[in-house]
Chain A
Amino acid sequence: SQQGEEDPQALSIQEGENATMNCSYKTSINNLQWYRQNSGRGLVHLILIRSNEREKHSGRLRVTLDTSKKSSSLLITASRAADTASYFCAIYPYNQGGKLIFGQGTELSVKP
């Protein structure tokens, strides 16, 4: 499967701790994106990282991309209870006509 495989499937941490989620994939990509989904809601885009980029930051979010290992990680620093959500990576492979392929997601629970 070309889809992103996410690890761990579920993560539970205390408020103030850092949360790290990983995504691995099997094909060459144009870019990789991370999305967040609160329970019962639509997805919200967090960060897009292109294949020629290695690291990107947005507020408390840090994304890394290692194309040689075909893997990415999302780090949320100083987590808050409001960060509780599911986080999905999505890859945009070359020659796929613009289709994003989503992983299964990591369910993050941040306890106050």
Chain B
Amino acid sequence: DGGITQSPKYLFRKEGQNVTLSCEQNLNHDAMYWYRQDPGQGLRLIYYSQIVNDFQKGDIAEGYSVSREKKESFPLTVTSAQKNPTAFYLCASSSTSRDRWGETQYFGPGTRLLVL
């Protein structure tokens, strides 16, 4: 069953704590993305990765970090430097063949992060 999974579904963060959101895909996609969605808003890009061991900052990278050690995995860490982390976090992946860059993105079910 091909797809993209995120865990956990809900995550609670205490003040000063770093938390890590998991994203795994078995679609054999090169590119992976992390978005943040606030209530009633669109998606804002946090980080993206076009290939293993490489990633770029998106529009709102401050307070977040990522790694891309495996093609299938792109975990996102929300650090204590992110002062307003409460949001819905979405991971996505896409194919990046030369003439099909920017094609359809496939999304995971999301992780809702709440601050205690």
Query: Contact at B42–A98, with CB atoms within 8 Å?
Result: no
Q: How distant is the Cα of A3 from the Cα of B88 in the complex, in angstroms?
A: 20
Contact partner of B110 (CB less than 8 A), chosen from A42, A45, A102, is A42
Q: Which one, B13-21, B66-74, B75-83, B99-107, is touching chain A?
A: B99-107
Known: A42-B110, A43-B90. A88 touches B104 (CB 8 A): no
* Interface SS, B side: strand
B64 close to A (CB within 8 Å)? no
Query: Contact at A41–B109, with CB atoms within 8 Å?
Result: yes
Of all chain A residues, the one with the shortest Cβ separation from B112 is: A40
Q: How distant is the Cα of A99 from the Cα of B47 in the complex, in angstroms?
A: 10
Contact partner of B96 (CB less than 8 A), chosen from A92, A98, A103, is A98
Q: What distance in Å separates the Cβ of A47 from its nearest Cβ neighbour in chain B?
A: 10
Known: A42-B90, A43-B90, A104-B42. A99 touches B48 (CB 8 A): yes
Which residues of A sit under 8 angstroms from B43, Cβ to Cβ? 43, 88, 102
Query: Contact at B105–A42, with CB atoms within 8 Å?
Result: no
Contact partner of B42 (CB less than 8 A), chosen from A30, A41, A44, A105, is A105
Q: How distant is the Cα of A96 from the Cα of B58 in the complex, in angstroms?
A: 11
Query: Contact at A3–B102, with CB atoms within 8 Å?
Result: no
Q: Please, what's the 1-or-0 string for A71-112, where 1 marks a CB less than 8 Å from any CB in chain B? A: 000000000000000001010100011111011110100000
Residues on A lying within 8 angstroms of B by beta carbon are 3, 30-31, 33, 35, 40-45, 48, 88, 90, 92, 96-100, 102-105, 107
12 cross-chain CB contacts under 8 A: A40-B110, A42-B6, A43-B43, A43-B90, A44-B107, A88-B42, A88-B43, A98-B102, A100-B105, A102-B35, A104-B41, A104-B42
Residues on B lying within 8 angstroms of A by beta carbon are 6, 31, 35, 40-45, 48, 50, 56, 58, 88, 90, 92, 94, 96, 101-110, 112
